Amino acid sequence: MLKRCFAVIVMVLASLSTTSTWAHPGGVDDRGGHINRKTGEYHCHREGCDARAQVERATREAEREGRAFVERYDRKLYKHWSDVDGDCMNSRHEMLQAASRIPVKLSPNGCYVSKGEWFDPFSGQTFTRASDLDVDHVIPLAWAHAHGAFAWTATQREQFANDPENLLVVDDGLNQAKGKKGPSEWLPPRQAYRCEYLGLWQKMLDKYSLTMAPKERRVFTKQLAACQ
């Protein structure tokens, strides 16, 4: 009797587990999934559901409506600060070394930059300690993810995250203020650098075939026109 009761309990628990895996409180679409409106991520809840096809369809719909569609962003998807050339110095410290106006001071093992002289194009200030600086992604990783990079391979994401053409050595506070914002939401406070910054954005957009939403593109086009 006890064995039979135990077997019934196991079957009920298994049934509940299966239901929780596939059920969705708000219903699903005709393909067996739904879009999480908070994250933009598409989830499958029935067998045979093709999440990638749904993502592509949702992306097209978002483009028609003038907004960005994105699968949930996770910074871990973009392997950054890689040691591309295997010399023990990762891409962050490669940028610090390359951007310094004077020979840099390295750690005893030669892998890290501690001091140098850097001109921050965002603020116009000069820094001598690497700890006061961030290496900024001109096009932020999260922004890129929301505008097409979510469909990239891991190799493409790592290339983008470590591309020196998309990196700038800047004041850490300003980099944090910029966050994941595009040029329609944030520009460097130093006006003399803004047009060059916009040019870098255009170069990276073209290089990686990233697409702005229509509203973003209209603002960006006006910004570029003002630089002519």
pLDDT in tens, 134-155: 999 999 999 999 999 999 999 9
Asked whether the predicted pLDDT for residue 52 surpasses 80, the reply is no
Q: Is 130 exposed, middle or buried (0-12, 13-18, 19+ CB in 10 A)?
A: buried
Q: Is 137 exposed, middle or buried (0-12, 13-18, 19+ CB in 10 A)?
A: buried
More confident residue, 3 or 156: 156
197: CB partners within 8 A, 6+ apart: 121, 138, 183, 187, 188
pTM: 0.71
pLDDT in tens, 24-43: 444 555 556 654 443 344 55
pLDDT in tens, 68-116: 555 688 999 999 999 999 999 999 999 999 999 999 999 999 999 999 9
